[in-house]
Amino acid sequence: MIRTRNFFEHKRVLLILFCIFILSQVIFFGSQYFTLKKVTVQGNKYIGNEELMAAANLELGVNAFLFPAKKAEARLKALPRIKSAKVRISLPSCVSIRVVERTPFLLVAGDSSDTTWYGVDNEGIVIEKDPVEQIKDLPILIIGGDIKVGDRIPFEYLKTYSGLLSKMFAEEVGRVSWVRIDPEEGLSYNYSDIDDNDIVVRLGDLSGLDKKFRILRKYLELEGKKDEKDREQIEMIDLANDPPVVKPKSNIEKKSK
């Protein structure tokens, strides 16, 4: 009898505990007290709050315990503009989104005749097409081929680009309108001389850059000392050849000027 009584008392305790568990689930998951009512967003400048919430698949009124914060972070990180994201639930009813956005480091185009520019960050991620906030004091990097938002520019291109600019004086960088990296022809860039005439400077590979720049600067210095009417109008200076080749503009172009 004692064993039977203990058995039934044990079952009654389990039943009570089960009822308490069910009741707690109803309170936690069914109560309006634990539904998300407030969202705070920090760190965003380019992407709006609503766009971030949509990307995170976040809607107000969702139960705080059921919202998958880690999955929301992964969805936010999938956006080309977002470098990192943190989503945190603050009980009973708040969620915070903190993001770090990628910012433009340079402009990239697929071809020198292409007027479509893409903003690229310092890791080479293409973050936007036709940036609203134009990058000043930096030339365009032309790499050829199709470019899409979300692509990653090869690191060696960024290294080559940065290496070229590091060899230039500050005033020279300001006169460069674009830099082109071509697998066959190598490195070249468009330079505006003291008369604001565009000159294509072809460097070829990166070997002997210091020597190439000394030759280029000496030539431009000598031309700059001439009277404007006596200066040679140049279309291209090819420093990839030894000796360098200077290609003047055609007579038709000269007359048109």
> Which CATH number does the domain housing residue 85 bear?
3.10.20.310
SS3 per-residue string spanning the chain: CHHHHHHHHHHHHHHHHHHHHHHHHHHHHHCHHHECCEEEEECCCCCCHHHHHHHCCCCCCCECCCCCHHHHHHHHHCCCCEEEEEEEEECCCEEEEEEEECCCCEEEECCCCCCCCEEECCCCEEEEECCCCCCCCCCEEECCCCCCCCCECCHHHHHHHHHHHHHCCHHHHCCEEEEEEECCCEEEEEEECCCCCEEEEEEECCCCHHHHHHHHHHHHHHHHCCCHHHCCCEEEEECCCCCCEEEECCHHHHHHC
Asked if residue 126 and residue 81 are part of one domain, the reply reads no
Distance CA 162, CA 142 (A): 14
Look at residue 19 and tell me if it is in a domain: no
The residue range of the domain holding 80 is 34-101
> Which CATH number does the domain housing residue 180 bear?
3.40.50
* Residue tagged 């055609």 (tokens): 250
Asked if residue 239 and residue 166 are part of one domain, the reply reads yes
pTM of the full predicted structure?
A: 0.71
Q: What is the mean pLDDT of each run of 10 residues along the chain (257 residues)?
A: 53 58 53 76 93 89 81 94 92 89 88 78 90 66 88 90 88 89 89 87 89 90 80 88 85 43
Look at residue 138 and tell me if it is in a domain: yes
- The per-residue pLDDT for range 12-70, each reduced to its tens digit, is 655 565 555 555 555 555 556 667 888 899 999 989 999 999 999 888 778 777 888 89
